[in-house]
Structure 1
Amino acid sequence: MTAQIPEQLILNAKRECMHACPPIPNDPALVAELSEEEAYEAAKGQEFGMYLFTSACWRKYVGTWEIKDGKFYLIKLEGKYKLLKDEPVHATWVTGTIVVPQGEMVHYIHMGFSSIYEKELHIKIEAGMVVEQKVIDNADKIKEYSESGGFWF
């Protein structure tokens, strides 16, 4: 699998990349699935544009999310889906851990979100609420990958 275009996260008023793809809501009052023709037309004016229809974006959309006041919000969708609300939507349907790479990319791995960065911020979300944040130092992971000659088993 090709390295993927990441979801976007607004965290502390700064835009970050997320190495996770939280689910979008399955609610026709919140999200519309566009036809292929509509999606291609919409992509012309969007930040990620036609990249959304390449192997760099198998999901064919990019979401922009925000953490504000301890809550996780969906604020925009580009590509195959359109968010129907103008205001942020509290993502109460999301439970899981999102990963935000930090520091320099040490090893590029041409697969999904597998590239290795100096550190990762892990943010645990439960029903749209941030319940834990911790920074992971990838020094051991970097060493292991380097010593393996670039192979993971």
Structure 2
Amino acid sequence: MTSQMPERILIDGKPHLLHALPLYRLLASRRVRISAPDEWTTNCHRQYVGTWDVIDGKLCLVALSTYGDRERPLSDAMRSWFLRLVPATRFPVSAEWFSGHLRIPTGPMLLWGFHGWSSWFTRERVITCRRGRVVRDREVDTLAMLEWALRRCEGLKQRIDPEDTRGELLTWITDDDYEHLRGDWWPPDWEGQRIPTSL
């Protein structure tokens, strides 16, 4: 497995990675796919990237792109097809089909995972939705959870790295919460007004 390209979400006007697939159940229930027009890539098996926002307490899809060898805006035909599928007349689209949890990393990365979204971050925001409406929004201290688990598993450190004499099992990859969001990160056809000018 390869680490997957996450979805995106705006939270309080700031861009974040989204480790959830709000479109998955809708597409699976209709037995349809969004396919990239070019070469398929292992870091985005689903072949699309959605950009999401919470507007007036509702989860909304504000942009959608295909992702093959690179990210591209939807063609006019695919955009019309998707809006008929949802159904909606234009973006943003209220995600009334989605019930579940949205995992949003908000702290620095602790441990990097090479498959799916298995990396650990110091903190995560978890938003719970029911039929597209936000019913719970909480901050989770994942660093504290990991430290608790390590304390509970006596001897785990020696089994993982017997040469570690400093007692430092955790490795900090970056101290900058937004380092992974720098650069050309937004969809190619993004027309939103809330793009931050600097991170």
Q: TM-score, normalised to structure 2's length?
A: 0.59
Q: How does 1:117-136 map to 2 (within 5 A)?
A: 117-136=121-140
Is 1:11 the counterpart of 2:11? The answer is yes
**2:146 maps to which of 127, 137, 142:** 142
Q: Is the 2:60–2:92 Cα contact (8 Å) retained in structure 1? A: yes
Q: Which residue type is aligned with residue 77 of structure 1?
A: L
How many residue pairs end up in the alignment?
132
State the superposition RMSD in angstroms. 2.5
The alignment partner of 1:103 has SS state of coil
- Larger strand proportion of the pair: 1
Unaligned runs of 5+ in 2: 68-73, 84-89, 151-155, 162-199
Q: Larger C-alpha radius of gyration, 1 or 2?
A: 2
Q: Which residue type is aligned with residue 122 of structure 2?
A: E
Match of 2:181 in 1: none
Q: How does 1:2-151 map to 2 (within 5 A)?
A: 2-23=2-23, 25-26=26-27, 33=34, 39-40=37-38, 53-79=40-66, 82-84=78-80, 85=83, 86-143=90-147, 144=149, 147=157, 149=160
Cα deviation, residue 70, structure 1:
0.5
Cα deviation, residue 33, structure 1:
4.2
Unaligned runs of 5+ in 1: 41-49
Match of 1:43 in 2: none
Cα deviation, residue 68, structure 1:
1.3
Residues 72 and 59 of structure 1, relative CA distance in 2, 3 Å threshold: same
What does the per-residue CA deviation read over 1:65-93, in whole Å, with 9 as the maximum and x for residues that have no partner?
A: 11111010011111166443532011100
